[in-house]
Amino acid sequence: MLEKAYFTRKDNPALKVPFLFNPKELGIEKSNQFAEVNIPGLSAPILQFVRGNARTVTMDLLFDTYEKGSDVREFTDQITGWEDGKQKGLMDIDSELHAPPVCIFIWGAFTFQCIIERVSKRFTMFLPEGIPVRATLNVSLKEYQEVDLQVRKIDFHSADLRKRRTVIEGDSLWSIAAREYGSADDWRLIADENGLDNPRLLVPGQELILPVKE
């Protein structure tokens, strides 16, 4: 059984915004942009690649506090922002960043670094006094990649086949090695590549280089 899905902030991994119910499904969209170049005499334009577009993940999140009799906005507003403006959600502009924060969506082994691009919120059940106790959020996440990482990806002459991974809470060199190489015993490859004297000291948000196993 998968653990509860949640959002965290890239710059503050200790912060968790959990979901009351895991999403039933995820939609992942990836597209490329092409320009049409019209050449006189040809029956169709030539397609010229312009750029790739960021991946988009969409999902529906269900929040239900009917049995507790509490306001469901206690949970939904952690994402969309508090309507009274007293606290900020993950979509609000951070006063230091001057932009909404970069988030990480985590659901078991699935992680997705993103910004929360759009949320559509529907309240579908209320207490007699008008307090909402059930809500569905249709969430659209846009993949976020640092500029230097994107630049490295388009270096066509590089023979560097190493991967990079951002450490999340609960990670260890043993678990990362098991996922990457199929054996936890290969943790030393990662430790040596990253100059880690103590393999137990991993910090959420830390970036690791995963070398190619010979």
Domain of 72, CATH number, reads: 2.40.30.200
Residue numbers in the chain where pLDDT is lower than 50: 1, 157
Domains identified in the chain, total number = 2
Closest CA relative to residue 72, chosen from 144, 22, 136 = 136
Q: Are residues 131 and 75 in the same domain?
A: yes
Q: Which pLDDT score, from 0 to 100, does residue 199 have?
A: 75
Of the residues 126, 147, 168, the one at which a domain ends = 147
pTM: 0.65
Angle between the 187-194 and 173-181 helix axes, to the nearest 10 degrees? 110
In the chain, the DSSP E strands lie at 6-9, 12-18, 27-29, 32-37, 46-52, 56-64, 103-107, 110-126, 132-143, 163-166, 207-210
Q: Are residues 178 and 82 in the same domain?
A: no
Q: Are residues 64 and 143 in the same domain?
A: yes
- In three-state secondary structure terms, 34 is strand
CA distance 60 to 63: 10
Query: Is there a contact between 187 and 32 (Cβ–Cβ < 8 Å)?
Result: no
Unique residue bearing structure tokens 């004297």: 197
Q: Which pLDDT score, from 0 to 100, does residue 57 have?
A: 95
Q: Which pLDDT score, from 0 to 100, does residue 117 have?
A: 95
Q: What is the CATH number of the domain that holds 181?
A: 3.10.350.10
Strand partners for 166:
207
Domain that holds residue 14: 6-147
Q: Are residues 40 and 123 in the same domain?
A: yes
Query: Is there a contact between 145 and 164 (Cβ–Cβ < 8 Å)?
Result: no
Unique residue bearing structure tokens 């932009």: 99
pLDDT tens, residue by residue, 60-111: 999 999 999 999 999 999 999 987 767 889 999 988 889 999 999 999 888 9
Q: Which pLDDT score, from 0 to 100, does residue 62 have?
A: 94
